[in-house]
A and B are shown apart, each in its own frame.
Chain A
Amino acid sequence: MHRIPVKPVPELVRQAAASGLGPGRRGEEAAGLAMAAPAVILLVAFLITPFALAFVMAFTNQRLVSPNPTAFVGTRNFTQLLTVRPFMMAPLTDPESGATLRDDTGAPVYPVLRDITRRNPDYPQFDGLRELASWQLGERRLYLLASDVVFMRALRNTMLFVLVVAPTQATLALMLALMINQRLRGVNIFRTIYFMPVVISIVVVSLLWRFIYSPGGLLNSMLTGLTFGAFTPVDWLGNPNTALGAIMAMSIWQAVGFHMVIWLSGLQTIPGVLYEAASVEGASALQKFRHVTWPGLRNTAVLILVVITMQAFALFAQIDVMTRGGPRDATQSIVFQAVQRGFERQDIAGGSAISVVLFLLVLSVSLLQRYVTRERAR
């Protein structure tokens, strides 16, 4: 392959070429179309079409293989997913005196929830719903009833995951970036090490951590050793109270190096002169960070939050490998549910409806983030 030498172009020819009249621009329209077409057609076929299909399928009863023809069912899939209704339950009363019925210990007696949600003609709006949560308010009970309790848990867990992981990971990544940005000999070796988990598959990482988190695993023996036996081993992934937290910690461990690198490239755009000026004026390290570093990182911060948030919403592989949504739905996630329904149960319509909900969620959160950060930048 030989290079065509760069040579000065006479000004007139150059202008003619730039205006689209000269020989330099002949066939440009056709060439541009032809060169862009293959990639654009593939994107339309395998990204935009399925994306549009998700919106269509979500309003049908489509299954992967089905004897029945596909039919439109309106918003049924969405009401099935998203219906949540509060219900205030009063204790049972004596039909004659109107006094509250009490058991032997004096505690009020309540109707059985199942009698209300199972074809009760007095409460058609609660038909088929199940308990999502309940609170005791004085002698009354407030129930939150949902038509799809598992999906509601998935929604809650994913939101929680995003709300915890995005700020924690961004902060830790910034701290790592500041450590790496020091002028020390060999500091790039540490950059290489901190970044390493990013290139390892999340599946491999999840399996390793499954072992680390197991009751007789590394984490428990380390904690027992450090506390001289005072620590009682925990089944990190088997306990509903710790499982989601354990997955969050691992996810941060795996991806923090990625965002460290983005922070680093932001840090390196801040001119050194600013730090020298701050030093001359006797600024402390903390003051330098507040008045020089942080203002210079504003755009990077916006970018990092958006990227982490989008990645966190897609939470799937960790769940699939480590807990499959358990224990007791404590680690269900939106994407895991979409795959469960759309793929494992071949319920394409149900899976698509979840995909649409996820997309709308991601879109509104990233628009919100952009809006909030734009206000601040002014």
Chain B
Amino acid sequence: MSGRMVGARNERYRVAWRYALLIAVALVFVFPVVFMVVSSLKPDLQLLRDTGSLRAFLPVGDISLDNYVAAFKRAPIGRFVYNSVLVTGLTVMFGLFLNSLAGFAFAKLRWRGRAIVLSVVIATLIVPFETIAVPLLMMVNALPWLGPDGLTFGWLNSYRVQIVPFIADALSIFLFVQFFKDLPDEIIEAARIDGASWWQVYLRVIVPLSGPVFATAAILKFLAMYNMYLWPLMVAQGETYRPVMVGLQYFFQLNVAWGEVMAYLSLITIPVLVFYLLLQRAFIESIAASGVKG
């Protein structure tokens, strides 16, 4: 056997070894998810019995969608999903608009105080939301609102309490500023000389050129809002305004029906996973972009 063949064979072993390691680590990351989906299809007794063997990861035995049917009967899941989609969707939309507008003002317009205001905005990044949750709760409990019922006080149990405080976002503003700074000034000046107002410059020149940063900000905001837990737990006590994460409490009364829990978890997780798998490059790049915030 020639030396080159031995080398090639060693190389092949080495590659196989690397793939084996990559796959072993991958199993560590997927097993809870596979377990969740598979378990959601099994009756409780079989589910508990199967955890003792590899059957826990295989859709075998008495497979059905009964748990999903039971879960829908137990809790107003449709309502929870509607609430989550509404709150997340509106916050992302308003957030993209106002944060990009502010980002544009900070990056491209000259006005008095902009440097100091921007540095205050950036400084707020080190305040964890958890440290302001309690005083914010007290504050929204007293805020006025002018609605169909006239002037009312207290925002608890509403959509606005889950949306309005989260529209402005220092991280989004920062991402927009970074992106807009790199756009050439000449295109803005050209538009201005053509008679475009600043508003038109934003809408017709800046926005069409900034797809990637809008995608990044949208994904980060979407993940944060959809997965939010502490705040809705505090402010949405009735089921009318509860999002999916807080709706989970319905499944933990007295005796836990694990099959239904797994069905509910699958139901609220799979759409996000599908979304992630379809757009995985954009998702991962968003996180990498958020990493510059230190």
Contact = CB atoms under 8 A, between A and B. Distances in A.
B30 A9 contact: no
A216 B44 CA distance: 14
A339 B15 CA distance: 50
Contacts of B168: 38-43, 46-47
Interface string A87-124: 00000000000000000000000000000000000000
B105 A35 contact: yes
Interface string B21-48: 1100110111111011000000000001
Interface in B121-144: 121, 124, 126-139, 141
Q: For the complex, would chain B's binding face be called helix, strand, loop or mixed by DSSP majority?
A: helix
Contact of A202 (B110, B126, B170, B229): B229
B138 A221 contact: no
A264 B288 contact: yes
Interface in A183-217: 184, 187, 190-205, 207-209, 211-212, 216-217
Query: Among B131, B205, B268, B273, which residue has the most Cβ atoms of chain A within 10 A?
Result: B131
A258 to B, nearest CB: 6
A70 B68 CA distance: 49
A178 to B, nearest CB: 11
B273 A338 contact: no
Contacts of A32: 105, 109-111, 114, 198
A249 B227 CA distance: 20
B294 A307 contact: yes
A274 to B, nearest CB: 21
B265 A204 contact: yes
B269 A53 contact: no
Interface in A1-52: 1-7, 9, 13-14, 17-18, 20, 23-33, 35-36, 38-43, 46-51
Contact of B186 (A6, A31, A306, A358): A6
Given A307-B291, A317-B229, A343-B137, A366 B208 contact: no
Given A51-B127, A57-B135, A217 B269 contact: no
Interface stretch (B5-13, B70-78, B276-284): B276-284
B67 interface: no
Contacts, number: 308
30 contacts: A5-B190, A6-B187, A32-B111, A36-B117, A42-B167, A43-B124, A46-B136, A46-B168, A47-B168, A50-B132, A184-B18, A195-B287, A199-B283, A201-B229, A202-B227, A208-B32, A208-B33, A221-B53, A257-B29, A262-B287, A265-B291, A307-B293, A317-B229, A339-B130, A339-B133, A339-B234, A355-B134, A359-B131, A362-B126, A363-B126
Interface of A: 1-7, 9, 13-14, 17-18, 20, 23-33, 35-36, 38-43, 46-51, 53-54, 57, 62, 64, 176, 179, 182, 184, 187, 190-205, 207-209, 211-212, 216-218, 221, 225, 253, 257-258, 261-262, 264-265, 302-304, 306-307, 310, 313-314, 316-317, 320, 335, 338-339, 342-343, 348, 351-352, 355-356, 358-359, 362-363, 366
Interface of B: 15, 18-19, 21-22, 25-26, 28-33, 35-36, 48, 51-53, 56, 98-99, 101-102, 104-106, 109-112, 114, 117, 120-121, 124, 126-139, 141, 164-168, 170, 173, 185-194, 196-199, 202-205, 207-208, 223, 226-227, 229-230, 233-234, 245, 248, 258, 261, 265, 268-269, 272-273, 276-277, 280, 283-284, 287-288, 291-294
